[in-house]
Amino acid sequence: MSNLQFDLSKRGEVTILTLSGKVIRGGEVILREAVDTILGQGARQIVIDLAEVPHIDSAGLGQLVSSYTYAQQRHAEIKLANLMGRVRDLLEITYLTGVFESYDSVDEAVAAFDENTGT
């Protein structure tokens, strides 16, 4: 059973989805619903903060990739922040660090959106 929770906040045009808990079978539904809600509100710049996520299983990883693809289809962009320990290792092992732009902090991820729009 997943205990995944999320919080939404905004910094300018960037929506920050802060996850806490394990993104595992059952919890991936929460991730999908959160991303659906954000995109439904018209957000085009999203940072997913994973600082409080100690573990992602295959279902959670699949939903993360699915959310990324879904966002791209809606001309939105997702960046990841605060990849820690096992989560970072899993993304590296599966070569997803080449798919997702990831940053050491939410501030860096938000700033990356500003840099992209400023050029």
Query: Distances in Å between the alpha carbon of 101 and those of 2, 84, 94, 105?
Result: 26, 15, 14, 12
**Res 119: pLDDT:** 40
Distance, CA of 15 to CA of 32 (rounded, Å): 15
Give yes or no for a contact between 30 and 6, defined as CB atoms under 8 angstroms apart.
yes
* Mean local confidence (pLDDT), 68-72: 94
**Rounded Cα gap, residues 86 and 111, in angstroms:** 25
Q: Which of 22-31, 41-50, 106-115 has the lowest mean pLDDT?
A: 22-31
pLDDT band at 76 (very low <50, low <70, confident <90, very high): very high
Nearest Cα neighbor of 74 from 102, 103, 37, 101 is 37
Q: Tell me the domain boundaries of the chain.
A: 5-118
Query: Has residue 1 got a pLDDT over 70?
Result: no
Give kind and range of the element (H or E) at residue 72.
helix 58-73
What's the mean pLDDT in 73-91?
Answer: 93
Tens of pLDDT, residue by residue over 3-41, are 889 999 999 999 999 999 998 887 778 888 999 999 999
User: What CATH number is given for 5-118 in this structure?
Assistant: 3.30.750.24
| DSSP helix/strand/coil, 62 | helix
With tokens 């995944």, the residue in question is: 4
pLDDT of amino acid 26: 79
Q: Map tokens 């993104």 to a residue.
A: 23
* pLDDT band (50, 70, 90) for residue 95: very high
Q: What angle do CA 14, 116, 20 make, to 5 degrees?
A: 35
